[in-house]
Chains A and B, each alone.
Chain A
Amino acid sequence: MTKSPTPMRREWLLLGIIVLLALAVGARAPVFLTWRNALDIGNDSAILAILVMGQMLVLLTRGVDLSVASNLALTGMLCALAAKAWPALPLPVLVLMACAIGAGLGFVNGFLIMRFQLPAIVVTLGTMSAYRGAIFVASGGAWVNDHQVHPAIKGLPRDTLFGLPMLIWCAAAVVVLALVLLRWRREGRELYALGGNPSAALYAGIPVSRRLVMAYTLCGALAGLAGLLWVGRYSIAFTELAAGYELTVIAACVIGGVSIGGGVGTVSGAVLGVLFIGVINGALPVIQVSPFWQQAIAGAVILVSVVLNARADRSRGRQILERPAAALQGASA
């Protein structure tokens, strides 16, 4: 893995842009720079941050997981239904269950991609609609409404600890774990190696298939956790929950400098990408721009940041649709 030319400068630049943006909005509407609003943005960004950490692991391996939003919604629905059916379930069991269901769904992605050497984008495109449909099958199309959502699930993101809501603590814990994994653990470093050059990684003795499945499983587990938190935060579960959110997740990764071509990306960059989206989405209503602009702005920001990335490392253009034979050559040999 070669480091992108100026990894530090990039992140400071992004941080600078975020601060400038916040100050500019604050100058027009001072309410934007209050502690309360910062908490709101933190709360809104927490779930995105959890999802982005998972997506980042997958992007590092040159893959992509488009099924995260469906995974989130399916896990959230299953947990809500389980808690509705057995109100005695304690919270730790629910959290474990969410992670396990999510991990299982993620494992299916990873297994299909690894075992049959299929392109990640197509597999996860397929599971995206498959999981989404499974929500309808599981719930019979019915909504789990506010009063039916188990109080423990509703309380989880809202409880506060040392003045900060649990939602933010959860996101912080996930970010720290991702940092430890990607910086100090062998498994994490192997993800970079695998994304940087799959065949070299194989010859270097890295268990490529196992790492690939690990990345998707972890991504799924985090999506499951995010699903439980999402249902708790908005205290509702329905079939179309978080539909299309996978694009926001990928946008945050790309803005944060995680290369879609694999092998490049840092946790701090990804977190800044999340904050950027959080600040923009928080700012729009404050400066009275229609929320309909959100999606268009996200799209424009993705395009601008990939063009900037491309200028930073011109020679490193890689195709995600690269032939799997080359990407995983000899994985089965």
Chain B
Amino acid sequence: MKALDTWERVLLALIVAVYVGFGTGIDGFLSPYAVADSTYNVSEKALIALAMALLVVAGEIDLSIAATMALASLAMGFAMKAGAPLPVMLAVAAATGAACGALNGWLVTRWKLPSIVVTIGTLSLYRGLAQVVLGDQAITGYPETLSTWGNGSVGDVIGVPWLIVPIEFAVLLVAALAVGLFLHRTVHGRRLYAIGANPVASRFSGIAVDRYRFGLFVFAGLMAALAAVLLTGRIGSTRPNLAMGWELDAVTIVILGGVAIEGGRGSIVGTVLAAVLLGSFTFALGMLNVSGIVMSMIVGALLIGAMVLPRGVRHLRTRFA
């Protein structure tokens, strides 16, 4: 898999266009601080999008991933209320995420159910449980460290004030590197493509398809927990509607990143580029005072456009070739 295929080049060009276009139009959009700021609202979404990309490449999907975030954040909050120290809180969040993912994976592999149905069900279940437990309350009072992880920059931590890369973005880069190496440079990654392209043939060629599927769902739960920790730290509270609707954003990032929804194709580079594109675009719209709901409308239109365009171009090419 070449790192910069055609689609990735298109995404890069679009990112440049966004920065140049809005940079000339909006004062201060290109200042380093604004650029650093623009990564916040996308880092957590990109983390779950990475896991979603692996799932979609393998022909599965997890719509419950944002609801899993809410449950993980909730569990962390309860651990804190019970007086647990930070490492235990993190372990509880990770365990909750892994458990949610394991339930998805078990239902998909043990009962041979389509993941979309299972995760629509668990989306409702997890989000519902968060609502049952929290009602209209919120958990607040998280330790300062969490807030630093969510809001701080790498420079603050290592004592280099000019390094204003946000910690969240650094975490995303490390995670993207790890996931990218896994998908593109290991035999397990190659197998994910095989599973997505043809699960039956993969099974016949000796790949433990169900074990990979189960592992991917657990991984998605863990990434959701990681994103939940960062998001909770950044906003400093847990509410039942935490990360509401983010599954849609994650799927959008993945599709926009050139991953084929039917499985078997796609790259991590594309996913990360799509995340950056979406992040900078919505940040620019935010600076222009465009309301959130209109942004999500534009994102929805982008999602459809990202799918229609390549097919339309291919269609034209075959017609005039």
Most buried by A among B113, B296, B297, B299: B297
- Measured CB to CB, the closest approach of chain B to A74, in angstroms, equals 11
Contact of A117 among B295, B303, B311 (CB under 8 A): B311
Residues of A with C-beta under 8 A to B255: 122
- Measured CB to CB, the closest approach of chain B to A124, in angstroms, equals 10
Q: Is the beta-carbon distance between B297 and A296 smaller than 8 angstroms?
A: no
Q: Is the beta-carbon distance between A130 and B300 smaller than 8 angstroms?
A: yes
Shortest Cβ distance from B309 into A: residue: A116
* Interface status of B317 (Cβ within 8 A of chain A): no
Residues of A with C-beta under 8 A to B41: none
Contact of A133 among B61, B131, B293 (CB under 8 A): B293
Q: Is the beta-carbon distance between B307 and A118 smaller than 8 angstroms?
A: yes
- Measured CB to CB, the closest approach of chain A to B89, in angstroms, equals 24
- Measured CB to CB, the closest approach of chain A to B161, in angstroms, equals 40
B286-310 interface code vs A (CB 8 A; 1 in, 0 out): 0000010111111111011001100
Give the bracket for the number of chain A residues in contact with chain B.
35 or more
* Interface status of A207 (Cβ within 8 A of chain B): no
Which of B121-129, B145-153, B225-233 is found at the contact surface with chain A?
Answer: B121-129
Q: How far is the CA of A186 from the CA of B124 in the complex (A)?
A: 36
- Measured CB to CB, the closest approach of chain B to A97, in angstroms, equals 22
* Interface status of A247 (Cβ within 8 A of chain B): yes
Q: Is the beta-carbon distance between A130 and B304 smaller than 8 angstroms?
A: yes
Q: How far is the CA of A285 from the CA of B111 in the complex (A)?
A: 34
Q: How far is the CA of A128 from the CA of B251 in the complex (A)?
A: 13
Q: Is the beta-carbon distance between B248 and A125 smaller than 8 angstroms?
A: yes
Q: Is the beta-carbon distance between A299 and B128 smaller than 8 angstroms?
A: yes
* Interface status of A95 (Cβ within 8 A of chain B): no
Contact of B297 among A112, A117, A134, A141 (CB under 8 A): A134
* Interface status of B118 (Cβ within 8 A of chain A): yes
Q: Is the beta-carbon distance between B297 and A302 smaller than 8 angstroms?
A: no
Q: Is the beta-carbon distance between B304 and A112 smaller than 8 angstroms?
A: yes
- Measured CB to CB, the closest approach of chain A to B281, in angstroms, equals 14
Q: Is the beta-carbon distance between A321 and B61 smaller than 8 angstroms?
A: yes
Q: Is the beta-carbon distance between B120 and A136 smaller than 8 angstroms?
A: no
Per the 8 Å Cβ criterion, residues 176-207 of B in contact with A are none
Q: Is the beta-carbon distance between A303 and B107 smaller than 8 angstroms?
A: yes
Q: How far is the CA of A123 from the CA of B135 in the complex (A)?
A: 33
Q: Is the beta-carbon distance between A323 and B124 smaller than 8 angstroms?
A: no
Shortest Cβ distance from B305 into A: residue: A126
Residues of A with C-beta under 8 A to B297: 129-130, 132-134, 136-137
Contact of A132 among B117, B121, B293 (CB under 8 A): B293
Which of A78-86, A171-179, A209-217, A306-314 is found at the contact surface with chain B?
Answer: A306-314
Q: How far is the CA of A286 from the CA of B123 in the complex (A)?
A: 26
Q: How far is the CA of A310 from the CA of B117 in the complex (A)?
A: 12
Tell me the interface secondary structure of chain B in the complex: helix
Residues of B with C-beta under 8 A to A118: 304, 307-308, 311
Residues of A with C-beta under 8 A to B131: 292, 295-296
Shortest Cβ distance from B299 into A: residue: A129
Q: How far is the CA of A319 from the CA of B199 in the complex (A)?
A: 11
Q: Is the beta-carbon distance between A133 and B128 smaller than 8 angstroms?
A: no
Q: Is the beta-carbon distance between B261 and A250 smaller than 8 angstroms?
A: no
* Residues A303 and B122 in contact in the complex (CB < 8 Å), given A112-B308, A260-B114, A324-B262: yes
* Residues A260 and B291 in contact in the complex (CB < 8 Å), given A116-B311, A129-B296, A130-B297: no
A179-221 interface code vs B (CB 8 A; 1 in, 0 out): 0000000000000000000000000000000000000000000
Residues of A with C-beta under 8 A to B112: 310, 314, 317
* Interface status of B21 (Cβ within 8 A of chain A): no
- Measured CB to CB, the closest approach of chain B to A102, in angstroms, equals 18
Q: Is the beta-carbon distance between A250 and B120 smaller than 8 angstroms?
A: yes
Q: How far is the CA of A260 from the CA of B120 in the complex (A)?
A: 12
* Interface status of B235 (Cβ within 8 A of chain A): no
Shortest Cβ distance from B61 into A: residue: A321
Per the 8 Å Cβ criterion, residues 133-153 of B in contact with A are 135
Per the 8 Å Cβ criterion, residues 118-173 of A in contact with B are 118-119, 121-123, 125-130, 132-137, 141
Q: How far is the CA of A307 from the CA of B103 in the complex (A)?
A: 13
Shortest Cβ distance from B104 into A: residue: A303
Contact of A129 among B122, B127, B300, B312 (CB under 8 A): B300
Contact of A290 among B122, B135, B252, B291 (CB under 8 A): B135
Shortest Cβ distance from A108 into B: residue: B304
Shortest Cβ distance from A250 into B: residue: B120
Residues of A with C-beta under 8 A to B113: 306-307, 310, 317
Q: How far is the CA of A320 from the CA of B114 in the complex (A)?
A: 7
Most buried by B among A134, A300, A303: A303
* Interface status of A239 (Cβ within 8 A of chain B): yes
Q: Is the beta-carbon distance between B132 and A293 smaller than 8 angstroms?
A: yes
Q: How far is the CA of A106 from the CA of B21 in the complex (A)?
A: 35
- Measured CB to CB, the closest approach of chain A to B264, in angstroms, equals 8
Residues of B with C-beta under 8 A to A129: 248, 296-297, 299-300, 303
In order of increasing CB-CB distance, the 9 nearest A-B pairs are A133-B297, A296-B128, A299-B125, A299-B124, A295-B128, A129-B300, A302-B121, A130-B300, A126-B303
**19 other contacts beyond A125-B251, A127-B304, A295-B127, with CB at 8 A cut-off?**
A123-B304, A126-B307, A130-B297, A132-B293, A133-B295, A133-B298, A247-B123, A250-B120, A260-B117, A292-B128, A296-B125, A299-B127, A302-B125, A303-B107, A311-B111, A317-B114, A319-B114, A320-B114, A321-B261
* Chain B residues close to A by CB (< 8 Å): 59-61, 107, 111-118, 120-129, 131-132, 135, 248, 251-252, 255, 261-263, 291, 293-301, 303-304, 307-308, 311-312
Task: Pull 9 A–B residue pairs with CB atoms less than 8 Å apart, ordered by A.
Answer: A116-B311, A121-B61, A126-B301, A136-B294, A260-B116, A296-B129, A306-B117, A314-B112, A325-B262
